[in-house]
Amino acid sequence: MQQITVPAYGKINLTLDITGKREDGYHELVTLMQQVELHDDVRIRLSPKKRISVLSDHESVPRDAANIAYRAAQELLCFAGLDLTGLNYGIDIFIAKRIPVEGGMAGGSANAAAVLKGLNRLLNLNLSTEELMRIGLRLGADVPYCIFGGTAVARGIGEILTRVPSPPTMWMVLVKPDFGVSTALVYKNFSFHERLCRPDLDLVLNGIERGEIVDIYRGMGNVLESVTLRLYPVLQDIKRRLADWGAEAVLMSGSGPTVCAFTRSPELAKDLCATAQRNFPASYRVVTTNTISVGEEGNISARAEY
Residues comprising the binding site for ATP? 100-110
> CB of 97: closest distance to ligand ATP in angstroms?
7
Q: How large is the greatest C-alpha to C-alpha distance in the chain, in angstroms?
A: 60
Binding-site positions: 100-110
Instruction: Check if 117 is active-site.
Output: no
* Stretch binding ligand ATP (CB under 6 A), from 18-26, 99-107, 190-198, 244-252: 99-107
Alpha-carbon distance of 259 to 103, in angstroms, equals 9
DSSP state of 154: E
For residues 181 to 210, the per-residue mask of contacts with ligand ATP, x marking binding by CB under 6 A and - elsewhere, is --x---------------------------
Of 6, 14, 69, 249, the one binding ligand ATP by CB under 6 A:
69
**Alpha carbon 264 to chain centroid distance?**
22
Residue 96 CB, shortest distance to ligand ATP, in Å, is 11
| Of 249, 261, 173, 250, nearest in space to 213 by CA | 249
Ordered alpha helix ranges (H), the chain: 68-79, 107-122, 129-139, 143-148, 183-189, 201-210, 213-219, 225-231, 234-244, 266-279
Spatial separation of the C-alpha atoms in residues 280 and 123, rounded to whole Å: 45
Q: Closest approach of Cβ 227 to ligand ATP, in Å? A: 13
Among 32, 95, 132, 229, binds ligand ATP (CB under 6 A): 95
Backbone angles phi, psi at 123, to 5 degrees: -95, 5
Query: Is 142 one of the annotated active-site residues of the chain?
Result: yes
Q: Name the 3-class secondary structure at 36.
A: strand
Question: Does 61 participate in binding ligand ATP (rule CB under 6 A)?
Answer: yes
Q: Which of residues 101-120 bind ligand ATP (CB under 6 A)?
A: 101-109, 111
Determine, following the binding rule CB under 6 A, whether residue 157 of this chain makes contact with ligand ATP: no
Please give the span between the terminal C-alpha atoms of the chain, in angstroms, as a whole number: 33
Nearer to ligand ATP, 44 or 203 (CB): 44
Convert residues 211-250 into a mask of x (bound to ligand ATP by CB under 6 A) and - (unbound): ----------------------------------------
The three-point CA angle 128-134-139 to 5° equals 130
Buried b (16+ CB within 10 A) or exposed e, 212-239: bbebbbebbbbbbbbbbbebbeebeebb
**Binding map of ligand ATP across residues 244-273, x = CB under 6 A, - = no contact:** ----------xx------------------
Catalytic residue among 17, 92, 142, 215: 142
The binding site for ligand ATP (CB under 6 A) comprises 60-62, 66-69, 95, 101-109, 111, 142, 183, 254-255
